[in-house]
Amino acid sequence: MNTSFEIVPRDEQSLNEQLSFIEENLPFINTINIPDLLRLPIRSWQASEYINRKQYQFIPHFRAIDFSIKDNRLQQIIEEHQLNRVLVVSGDPPPSMAHQVYDTNVLNLIAQIRKDFPNIQIYAGFDPYRSSVKNERVYMQSKFDAGADYLLSQPFFDIRLLEIYSELVPPEKVFWGVSPVVSEKSQSYWQRVNHAIFPQNFEASYEWNIKFAQQVIHHCQKTGSHLYFMPISINLEKYFLPLAEYIGK
């Protein structure tokens, strides 16, 4: 089981602090992935300078709308930073019209990367809340057909929904997303913006989220699938130290 930890690169200090926390407390983490957010000072691929790539697999996110298929800027980035893994996402509209965007979609960019870099590992996302299960299944398969090797999911909060999707994709090809939600405000955001589904017994508490993460860990261990943590505005010690103890048993 591979276990990935997503770090939002708000600044150099916070990036290094989270990396230090992982190194000192979470020996089960073997993968670091970095989202690409235009409002932040560090682009995803630039984070390669901070990560010990002898110890961790590094997966920077690339926004498809930021790259033209007709030029080779993405290829230059991959070569310059010696990337052997990339995650391709669609990308939200930029905060400023000054930022150049293109009509490149995820499938086209995955296919181009696969053509130019046959040996690179390509990751793509999937969203269980985007549309119907049937439509998302078709889209997931399209990403594999275009050349993706793995899928990383948006966070799940209901183990029953996760188990439904687990029947649609080879277990060794998927990272199941988990993001602790420990406030009602955060829960409301996930429901309003991402249309996330929470079970009736959900509680915006560390205890509930830790128990849910343990369920997902057990599922991954049982099925041979992988795990993807997305911690947002939480106390890392309060959430992860009990999970480190659970995994270490």
Q: Give the pLDDT of residue 94.
A: 72
CB 51 within 8 A of CB 32: yes
Rounded-to-integer distance, Cα 197 and Cα 182, Å: 15
CA 27: distance to chain centroid?
A: 19
Rounded-to-integer distance, Cα 163 and Cα 219, Å: 9
CB 6 within 8 A of CB 35: yes
CATH number for the domain whose boundaries are 3-248: 3.20.20.220
Helix or strand or coil: residue 121? strand
Q: Which helix (H) or strand (E) holds 4?
A: strand 3-6
Pairing of strands 174-178, 150-155: parallel
Question: Which residues of the chain, if any, have pLDDT below 70?
Answer: 96-98, 249
Rounded-to-integer distance, Cα 171 and Cα 2, Å: 12
Q: Give the pLDDT of residue 249.
A: 59
Residues in the chain: 249
Q: Give the pLDDT of residue 97.
A: 67
DSSP 94: P
Rounded-to-integer distance, Cα 123 and Cα 185, Å: 30
Rounded-to-integer distance, Cα 226 and Cα 3, Å: 6
The DSSP code sequence of 74-89 is HHHHHHHTT-SEEEEE
Domain definitions of the chain by residue range: 3-248
Phi–psi pair at 60, nearest 5 degrees: -80, 145
Rounded-to-integer distance, Cα 112 and Cα 116, Å: 6
Q: Give the pLDDT of residue 66.
A: 94
The C-alpha R_g of the chain, in whole angstroms, comes to 18
